Chains A and B, each alone.
Chain A
Amino acid sequence: MNLEEQIISIIKDNIEEKYDITADTDLRNELGLDSFDTMMIINAIEDEFDITIDESDFDNIKIVLDIIQLLQGKYIIVTGVKNGINEFL
C-alpha cells in the first residue's frame, strides 16, 4: 500500500459513513467532517505511524492530498512506511 492508499484507508475506517474517497476529496465540504471526525483521523494516523501530530497542522487541511503532503513534508513520512518503520531510512 502506498501512502495515499494508506491515508484513504485510515479515513474510511474513521468516519461514520461509507464514502468514495480520492486524493482530491474535500474533507469538510464533501465528507462533512466535524472536529471530532478530524480528531479520530489524526489519532489513527498517529497510531499508524507512531508520530505525534500537532493538531493545529490540520487547520489548513482541505483535501486528502493536503494530509499526505503534510505527512511527507513536516513529518518526513514517505511512501512505503508501515507502522512507523520507514523502509527507506
Chain B
Amino acid sequence: MESTNFYKRFVVDKSIAEKLNFNPYYCRITSGIDGTVEINGKEFVDLASNNYLGLAGDERVKNAMIEAVKKYGASMCGTPIATGYVEIFKNLEDKLSEFVGLESTTIFPSCYQANCGLFLKIAGKEDLIIVDHYVHASLIEGIKTAGCKIKPFLHNNVNHLKKLLEKSTGYRQVFVVTESVFSTEGSIAPFDVIVELCTRYDALPIIDDSHGIGVIGKTGRGILEEKGIKDFQGIYTASLGKAIANTGGMISGKKEIIEYLRYSCSSLIYSTALPPAILGGIEKVIEIIESEFDSISRKIWRYKTLISERLKDCGFQLENGQAPITSIFCGSFEDTIKMAKRLYEHNILSTPFVPPSVPPNKGRVRLIAGADLKEKDIEKALEAFAAIKVRNINHRTFKVGNYYSQYQQSEY
C-alpha cells in the first residue's frame, strides 16, 4: 500500500540512545524552572535552560502576566495586523526599541518565525547575502527563501569577510548576517568590526542577538551596547525566550523597514499575535533588567567562572567562550551523549549538541547556570563534575577525518 511506504520514510535513528540507555531529548519535566527542575520525582540542577537571568519563575513576572490575563484575557485571537495589536503590544514595541536603542520594533510569535520571514521581504535575486558559517538554523532557512546568491564566511573571521566584500560588486544590495553570541560555544562575534566593514563596503548588517539580549552589554542591552555600536543602520533580531524569559521574537531597526514588515511579512501578519500574558511578562522582565542587571549579571558570571574552573581542574576540554556559557568539548556523537548521561546520573540537566547543530566530531555539552540557581545547586554541580572527572587521560593520536592531532583521549 502506498501510505505504508510513505510512513516508512520517517524513521528516527535512536540507536545511540538505545545503546546508552539514555535519551537526552524530550525528557519530561514535572515542575517549573527555579534553579532546579523535577524529572521522575527527582530534583535536577538546571544547567540546560536559557533562563540566564533566572526570571522565568520570578514572582513579579508571574504577577505581571496574571494582571495582563485579568485585563485582556487569554488571547486577542487575532494576528498583530488585526485584533492582536492590543495596547500592551504597542507599548512593548516601544519599550523594546528603547531598550536596544533602535528606532522601531515589531514582535513575532518567535524569533524562528522572525528570521524565517524577514529575508523574503528584504532581499531578492539581485542581492547578495554574506553569512557566518555557523549561524542558527532559522537564519539559514530564512536566507534561502530570498533566492539570492549566498556566500558564507568562515566563522567570526573578519579577514575572510573582508575578502568576500571586496569581491562583491554588481549586486543591488549586499547583506552581512551573523549572530552576537554563538550559543553552542559561547563565542561573541566581532560585530563592531563587521559593522565597520559594512559601512566601508556599503553592505547592510543583520544581527541575531538571541543569546545576547539581557546578557551582554554593560546594562544588559545586548550586542550593540557590548560593542559600543552607536546609530546602528542595520537590522536587529532577537528571541524573547531566553534571558527575556518568555517567548517571542523581535525585529528592530529603522522605522521604514519595520513599518514595511508590519504590513507585508507573512510570518507576522498571518500568525496569531503573542498573547497578553506574554506581553505583560516581557514588559516586567525589561523593567527588572533596567533596575537590577548589575547584581543579576554578577551572579551568572560568578557561576560561570566556578563551573569553568572546576571543569578545567577535572581535565575537561572547554570551548573558549566569552559569554556566560560553559561548553564542554566531547567530540563524537556518542561521547557527547555519554557526557550528558554522566551529568544526568548526577542529577545535572545539560544540553548536548550533536550534528547538524555542530560540525561532525565537534559534539559539545553546554551548561548555562542562570541567576535562579542557588549556591547549593552550584555546589552540587561542582561536586558532580569532580565525581565524573575525566578518567584514564592519556595522550593518544586522535583522528578527525584525515587530520591527526594530539588530543587528550578521554573516557567519561
The answer, yes or no, to whether A39 is at the interface (CB within 8 Å) is yes
Contact (Cβ within 8 A) A16 B167: no
Contact (Cβ within 8 A) A36 B361: no
Which of A20, A30, A40 is close to B154, meaning CB atoms less than 8 Å apart?
A: A40
Contact (Cβ within 8 A) B154 A19: no
For B403, list chain A residues within 8 Å (CB). Answer: 17-20
Per-residue B-contact encoding for A43-67, CB less than 8 Å = 1, 0 else: 1000100000000000000000000
Q: How far is the CA of A31 from the CA of B155 in the complex (A)?
A: 16
For A4, list chain B residues within 8 Å (CB). Answer: none
Contact (Cβ within 8 A) A34 B359: yes
Per-residue B-contact encoding for A24-47, CB less than 8 Å = 1, 0 else: 011001111010110110010001
Q: How far is the CA of A37 from the CA of B151 in the complex (A)?
A: 10
Contact (Cβ within 8 A) B359 A32: yes
Q: A16-B155, A37-B133, A40-B133 are in contact. Are A25 and B359 (CB under 8 A)?
A: no
Question: Interface size (A, Cβ < 8 Å)?
Answer: 21
Q: How far is the CA of A18 from the CA of B131 in the complex (A)?
A: 21
Closest B residue to A21 by beta carbon equals: B402
Q: A32-B360, A40-B133, A47-B167 are in contact. Are A19 and B402 (CB under 8 A)?
A: yes
Per-residue A-contact encoding for B189-227, CB less than 8 Å = 1, 0 else: 000000000000000000000000000000000000000
For A19, list chain B residues within 8 Å (CB). Answer: 401-403
For A69, list chain B residues within 8 Å (CB). Answer: none
| Interface size of B as a range | 10 to 19
Q: A32-B359, A34-B359 are in contact. Are A14 and B402 (CB under 8 A)?
A: no
Contact (Cβ within 8 A) B154 A16: yes
Contact (Cβ within 8 A) B150 A39: yes
CB distance from B161 to the nearest CB of A (A): 12
Q: A40-B133, A47-B167 are in contact. Are A32 and B154 (CB under 8 A)?
A: no
Q: How far is the CA of A39 from the CA of B151 in the complex (A)?
A: 7
Within B329-378, which residues are at the interface with A (CB < 8 Å)? 356, 359-361
CB distance from B157 to the nearest CB of A (A): 9
Contact (Cβ within 8 A) B359 A40: no
For A37, list chain B residues within 8 Å (CB). Answer: 133, 152
Closest A residue to B132 by beta carbon equals: A36
Q: How far is the CA of A34 from the CA of B402 in the complex (A)?
A: 16
The answer, yes or no, to whether B400 is at the interface (CB within 8 Å) is yes
Residues on B close to A: CB < 8 A?
131, 133, 140, 150-155, 164, 167, 356, 359-361, 400-403
Residues on A close to B: CB < 8 A?
14-21, 25-26, 29-32, 34, 36-37, 39-40, 43, 47
Write 15 A-B pairs (CB below 8 A) sorted by A numbering: A15-B154, A17-B400, A18-B403, A19-B401, A25-B401, A29-B401, A30-B402, A31-B401, A31-B402, A32-B361, A36-B131, A36-B152, A40-B152, A40-B153, A43-B151
